[in-house]
Amino acid sequence: MADRRRTALIGAAFLMATSAIGPGFLTQTAVFTERLGASFAFAILVSVVVDLVAQLNIWRVLVVSGRRAGEVANLVTPGLGTLLTVLVVIGGLAFNVGNVAGAGLGLRVLLGIPVEVGALLSALLAIGLFLSKEAGRAMDRFAVALGFVLVALTIYVAAASAPPVGEALARAVRPERIDLLSIVTIVGGTVGGYITFSGAHRLLDEGLHGAEALPAVTRSATTAIGVASLMRVLLFLAALGVVTQGLALDPANPPAAVFLLAVGEVGYQLFGLVMWSAAITSVVGAAYTSVSFLRGLHPTFERHWTRVVIGFIASAAVAFLWIGQPVRVLVLVGALNGVILPVGLTVMLVAAHRSAVVGAYRHPQWLTWSGVVVALGMAAASGFVLWRDLIRG
């Protein structure tokens, strides 16, 4: 039992982390590093703090209550959980189209096969995980294994690019330029949409709940943010080493250019493996977490959840094969996912002080107030982005 509990805690951490590290994560990091240089270190530092506040608030409330996010939201305000479920499922499905496409791109680089064939093969592999009798544990092992692959390969590329680490450390606290958009984007990419709920829902599925589980849950949540942040820092350093040499990144594929320019042709092959690993784990995480919201809506979803996950992945693959990578849809849903974080976090903060949800549990005041600051800040920033890019055009 102790081994299964430990495996679940590690698996939940890596599920959340690898869900965050998708094709968009790789691209965002490369693009903002080229734009901001060493000053992007400040945005990363701020995002780590914001990510931790959001993650700790949400994971603690869900685990103490023993309920998934949609169920908790419905206890706060009837119907609110259904709305949150709809937002998460739409966002998860749309982003999974991009994740499937990213997996296909990674296999094209690695094996030279068409993107469509690589996307289909990757989707079939992800589906295979959920055909296992121990689907949850298979997913945990998959996320942990590929998480280590992502970090190990990126360490190698970051070291090869010889980044100015001292300057990056200095700019983390004394940036020459602060870009609010970069902070909002990478926060949304790490804990936005479905991502922040993935690990907590995985723990609930393994039977970890109640106040007695909180110390272990806190360690798992911080590990999750630690892994995702480490990957962000390594990618940043790899890209910084390239751009400080005066080399320009290919705008068509900035992260691939980082790997290629850092270690030559072999770097391009490494990028293919990193892209595929990042994309396929995000496919699994998005499907699992989106369906975990549906499981609270009707007993049918609960009884046949693995089949629903398989259908979710298959739908994303078919959508990609039918219409290709829907760039406009991904942009629109990216804005939508940015809204989900402040909505979800606000609901959890209210629930944290409802005895009908958490019983006798007393939520730490510092987490409550820091959560309020994060929720308000992200709501304002997301609203600005929606107005600027979608309404004003």
Residues 6+ positions from 189 with CB-CB distance below 8 Å: 20, 22, 24, 25, 28
Residue ranges covered by each domain of the chain = 2-391
The confidence score (pLDDT) of residue 90 equals 84
Place of tokens 């996010």: 69
CATH among 1.20.1740.10, 1.20.1250.20, 3.90.550.10, 2.40.10.350 for 2-391: 1.20.1740.10
For residues 58-70, one letter each, b for 16 or more C-beta atoms within 10 angstroms of the residue's C-beta and e for the rest, the string is bbbbbbbbbbbbb
Q: What's the token pair of residue 270?
A: 């490494």
List the chain residues with pLDDT less than 70.
Answer: 1-4, 324-339, 385-386, 388-393
Degrees to nearest 5, angle at CA 25 with 107 and 174: 145
pLDDT value at residue 393: 53
Distance from C-alpha of 202 to C-alpha of 124, rounded to nearest angstrom: 22
Q: What pLDDT, on a 0 to 100 scale, did the predictor assign at position 389?
A: 57
Cα 273 from Cα 277, distance rounded (Å)? 6
pTM: 0.88
